[in-house]
Chains A and B, each alone.
Chain A
């Protein structure tokens, strides 16, 4: 019974609700027109108000932008830097805007675009692969070795300087072979370099591996001038041309930290090393020239200390002579380079000074566009034991498929001062990719 009453009640409620539009329609039919007019009027008022606020907001934003622009004239530069190109932008991080940070979108710096590559340095990589066969009881080397991969980065820094970086990747590590800035146009005709660089001591010390006419470095370099790395240190170099009516002459003075492998070692900040070099050059004919240099190097060594506590000293004196012949009409087919370097070492040791002398003489003859031959004779005492002389002779054959690759074979016989003898066949493959570098001279 109670259930029946509940059901009847529900039905009545549903019927009343269902009949509501009919009641409304009947009650408001006469007011529809006036309601529509009210809504239209309200909408117009709202739109007018919205427009009024939009205008005020735009005026305020313009005022704000003008005041910011006056405070920081470069603020709009990145956006204006690349007209016609779609700007690369990023959204402001959530929350930053409300914290008084920038609004809207931000430019992306360092984004990839064609124009950003213009200022990239010239990049090249030169590979130096070595192979060795034969017998060498003293310094056997490896059968195969990716001896060096030299990456170079070179570019102009600004109107006053250029920069050169040479990174030398071995199989097991990387080394900054050279990295320096050059100021080519200083007052007084000076040419200055600052950074890490190969010192201007003689000829071979200044040369990178890939421009050497041999697969190795001469014995005198290995024994007296710190081997392959040579005098290569951080410091400052200043060079000046010496005007005279007869020939090209250049004087170079360099100051380094004083660390160059087993040659120089600085134990205090004042243990600097010093290099002086004078070069004279003269064209004998248009195809023949002579290049003569004198070098001096001074630095502290790691052999010990004097009575007053300062470290012992090594001094090197060098002389180099290069004779070149390259007939201009057949310059790409025939050439000859004869070269010799003589080096004297005076190295303080705890038991007294060691005076060692070494030299090499070499000749390289290009007999065809792709082929050249060469020979070298070396003889050098050892820096720490001048009584021991090493002597070596080499024969070379080089094939150059293109400007960008080179194959070289070298037969080398070394008679070491302590009676051991090495007989070796050395093979080298060099290859370069990337920017076209300067031809060696």
Chain B
């Protein structure tokens, strides 16, 4: 009994030591490593998407560094909340988000774990880029999930309207000026220049699209509402029966009948969706299927905000010409 008690006491002592060692190790690792990061000369801007990153680069110039989280070729609704993004957010001087619940499935836990007080929602370095933009498709009446994965606060793909691009840029420039007052004039100058160039490009894009005003297209997801509204085309149907719900055979059949009746000859597909169903629709209706990126970086040749519109409009105009100069 005595020997057993001694053995037990020795073991407990060893366990205590081991526990202390493990706890000590964790504490040492946690506290001994010095905190990295001192005052940086450039503002470190993190954006939710590449579109916002492209606009931030336009107004921030060489006074900021920009890192997007979601890539242009991935579905921005379904980004994985990887811990490596926490590290980006931890060091962010400014976080710009698309808002309208686009990032609701992945950004909140990242922000929460970032240990960065400034970028918490409502914080001085948190910017919701949608606040002054023109938002479409705000659902009216009774809203339930029977409508699909609807965004109760409106369509979050609003950056595909150049006028909204200007408003987003202004919000970013104002926020950058707020965070770095010494560079306020610089950001304002770059904003003016960006808006001027965008106005000029917009004239070019509008002129290209003008002959096709009222042309009808079908898109996979509700990504192009603002684009269609700005450039005068009509989105007459969607490959998805409801937002976020994959295509069903019955809906596809109904959509094909509608396209035949209304002589719709173009289907736009975001690069991250499977083109199998759109291609089948194309075969059945004779429509052209275009992989049309809604985001900067979605495909090669869309590396900035201007190139995105250049690419999309060139593709669309080409397809509309082939379709016979307008599918009204």
Whole-angstrom distance between the Cβ of A402 and the nearest chain B Cβ: 6
Q: Is A433 an interface residue (CB 8 A)?
A: yes
Instruction: Tell whether, in the assembled complex, residue A251 and residue B29 are in contact, meaning their CB atoms are under 8 Å apart.
Output: yes
A397-441: contact bitstring with B at CB < 8 Å (1 yes, 0 no)?
000001110000000000000000000000000000100111101
Instruction: Tell whether, in the assembled complex, residue A438 and residue B9 are in contact, meaning their CB atoms are under 8 Å apart.
Output: no
Q: Is A171 an interface residue (CB 8 A)?
A: no
Whole-angstrom distance between the Cβ of B327 and the nearest chain A Cβ: 29
Q: B75: which of A243, A289, A332 is its contact (CB, 8 Å)?
A: A332
Closest to B2 in A: A307
Residues 154-192 (chain A) with a chain B CB within 8 angstroms: 156, 159, 162, 182, 184-186, 188-191
Interface centre among A189, A291, A296, A328 (most CB of B within 10 A): A328
Instruction: Tell whether, in the assembled complex, residue A402 and residue B33 are in contact, meaning their CB atoms are under 8 Å apart.
Output: no
Alpha-carbon distance A437/B145, docked complex (angstroms)? 14
Alpha-carbon distance A369/B272, docked complex (angstroms)? 12
How many of chain A's residues have a CB under 8 angstroms from any CB in B? 58
Q: Is A213 an interface residue (CB 8 A)?
A: no
Instruction: Tell whether, in the assembled complex, residue B90 and residue A402 are in contact, meaning their CB atoms are under 8 Å apart.
Output: no
Q: A438: which of B27, B101, B106, B246 is its contact (CB, 8 Å)?
A: B106
Instruction: Tell whether, in the assembled complex, residue A189 and residue B35 are in contact, meaning their CB atoms are under 8 Å apart.
Output: yes
Closest to B19 in A: A298
Given the known interface contacts A243-B36, A276-B22, A307-B8, the answer about A369 and B246 at a Cβ–Cβ threshold of 8 Å is yes
Q: Is A242 an interface residue (CB 8 A)?
A: yes
Closest to A240 in B: B30
How many residue pairs link A and B with beta carbons under 8 A? The number is 140
**A331 CB contacts on chain B under 8 angstroms:** 74-75, 78-80, 272
Instruction: Tell whether, in the assembled complex, residue B101 and residue A353 are in contact, meaning their CB atoms are under 8 Å apart.
Output: no
Instruction: Tell whether, in the assembled complex, residue A402 and residue B106 are in contact, meaning their CB atoms are under 8 Å apart.
Output: no
Alpha-carbon distance A353/B15, docked complex (angstroms)? 12
B100-133: contact bitstring with A at CB < 8 Å (1 yes, 0 no)?
0100111011001111110011100000000000
Q: B115: which of A191, A276, A328 is its contact (CB, 8 Å)?
A: A191
Chain A residues touching B, majority SS = strand
B26-44: contact bitstring with A at CB < 8 Å (1 yes, 0 no)?
1101110111110000000
Instruction: Tell whether, in the assembled complex, residue A184 and residue B15 are in contact, meaning their CB atoms are under 8 Å apart.
Output: no
Instruction: Tell whether, in the assembled complex, residue A283 and residue B82 are in contact, meaning their CB atoms are under 8 Å apart.
Output: yes
Q: Is A72 an interface residue (CB 8 A)?
A: no
Whole-angstrom distance between the Cβ of A163 and the nearest chain B Cβ: 12
Closest to A281 in B: B83
Whole-angstrom distance between the Cβ of A58 and the nearest chain B Cβ: 45
Q: A296: which of B22, B106, B145, B273 is its contact (CB, 8 Å)?
A: B22
Q: Is B323 an interface residue (CB 8 A)?
A: no
Given the known interface contacts A276-B22, A402-B244, A439-B80, the answer about A184 and B115 at a Cβ–Cβ threshold of 8 Å is yes
A272-302: contact bitstring with B at CB < 8 Å (1 yes, 0 no)?
0010101101110010010100001010000
Alpha-carbon distance A370/B149, docked complex (angstroms)? 15
Whole-angstrom distance between the Cβ of B222 and the nearest chain A Cβ: 16
**B106 CB contacts on chain A under 8 angstroms:** 438-439, 441
A228-253: contact bitstring with B at CB < 8 Å (1 yes, 0 no)?
00000000000011111000101101
**B31 CB contacts on chain A under 8 angstroms:** 240
Closest to A403 in B: B149
Q: Is B87 an interface residue (CB 8 A)?
A: yes
Alpha-carbon distance A278/B22, docked complex (angstroms)? 11
Q: Is A333 an interface residue (CB 8 A)?
A: yes
Q: Is B213 an interface residue (CB 8 A)?
A: no
Instruction: Tell whether, in the assembled complex, residue A329 and residue B73 are in contact, meaning their CB atoms are under 8 Å apart.
Output: yes
Q: Is B137 an interface residue (CB 8 A)?
A: no
How many of chain B's residues have a CB under 8 angstroms from any CB in A? 58
Interface centre among B31, B112, B114, B122 (most CB of A within 10 A): B112
**B27 CB contacts on chain A under 8 angstroms:** 253
B68-89: contact bitstring with A at CB < 8 Å (1 yes, 0 no)?
0001011100111111101100
Alpha-carbon distance A22/B73, docked complex (angstroms)? 111
Q: B33: which of A162, A242, A274, A276 is its contact (CB, 8 Å)?
A: A242
**B121 CB contacts on chain A under 8 angstroms:** 156
Given the known interface contacts A184-B113, A328-B71, the answer about A278 and B29 at a Cβ–Cβ threshold of 8 Å is yes
Q: Is A54 an interface residue (CB 8 A)?
A: no
Q: Is B177 an interface residue (CB 8 A)?
A: no
Given the known interface contacts A281-B82, A286-B71, A441-B82, the answer about A244 and B33 at a Cβ–Cβ threshold of 8 Å is yes
Closest to B1 in A: A307
**B322 CB contacts on chain A under 8 angstroms:** none
Closest to A282 in B: B84
Given the known interface contacts A276-B26, A329-B272, the answer about A403 and B84 at a Cβ–Cβ threshold of 8 Å is no
Instruction: Tell whether, in the assembled complex, residue A248 and residue B29 are in contact, meaning their CB atoms are under 8 Å apart.
Output: no
Instruction: Tell whether, in the assembled complex, residue A278 and residue B26 are in contact, meaning their CB atoms are under 8 Å apart.
Output: yes
Given the known interface contacts A296-B22, A326-B80, the answer about A439 and B105 at a Cβ–Cβ threshold of 8 Å is yes
Whole-angstrom distance between the Cβ of A278 and the nearest chain B Cβ: 7
Residues 232-275 (chain B) with a chain A CB within 8 angstroms: 244-246, 271-274
**B23 CB contacts on chain A under 8 angstroms:** 253, 274, 276
Q: B15: which of A182, A291, A313 is its contact (CB, 8 Å)?
A: A313
Alpha-carbon distance A441/B272, docked complex (angstroms)? 20
Q: Is B142 an interface residue (CB 8 A)?
A: no
Instruction: Tell whether, in the assembled complex, residue A253 and residue B12 are in contact, meaning their CB atoms are under 8 Å apart.
Output: no
Instruction: Tell whether, in the assembled complex, residue A281 and residue B29 are in contact, meaning their CB atoms are under 8 Å apart.
Output: no
Instruction: Tell whether, in the assembled complex, residue A182 and residue B74 are in contact, meaning their CB atoms are under 8 Å apart.
Output: no
Q: Is B140 an interface residue (CB 8 A)?
A: no
Q: Is B11 an interface residue (CB 8 A)?
A: yes
Whole-angstrom distance between the Cβ of A235 and the nearest chain B Cβ: 15
Instruction: Tell whether, in the assembled complex, residue A191 and residue B22 are in contact, meaning their CB atoms are under 8 Å apart.
Output: no
Given the known interface contacts A162-B112, A298-B19, A403-B149, the answer about A241 and B272 at a Cβ–Cβ threshold of 8 Å is no
**B120 CB contacts on chain A under 8 angstroms:** 184-185
Whole-angstrom distance between the Cβ of A381 and the nearest chain B Cβ: 20
Q: Is A315 an interface residue (CB 8 A)?
A: yes
Closest to A402 in B: B245
Q: Is A308 an interface residue (CB 8 A)?
A: yes
Closest to A154 in B: B108
Chain B residues close to A by CB (< 8 Å): 5, 8-9, 11-12, 15, 19, 22-23, 26-27, 29-31, 33-37, 71, 73-75, 78-84, 86-87, 90, 101, 104-106, 108-109, 112-117, 120-122, 145, 148-149, 244-246, 271-274
Q: Which 4 A-B pairs have the closest CB atoms?
A: A185-B117, A328-B74, A307-B5, A281-B83
Query: What are 15 A-B residue pairs whose CB atoms fall within 8 Å in the complex?
Result: A184-B117, A190-B115, A191-B115, A241-B87, A248-B83, A248-B86, A253-B26, A274-B23, A279-B83, A286-B71, A306-B12, A308-B9, A324-B80, A329-B73, A441-B81
Known pairs A244-B33, A283-B82, A283-B84 / 13 extra A-B pairs, C-beta < 8 Å? A184-B114, A191-B113, A240-B30, A241-B86, A251-B29, A276-B22, A289-B82, A307-B9, A308-B9, A330-B274, A402-B244, A439-B80, A439-B81
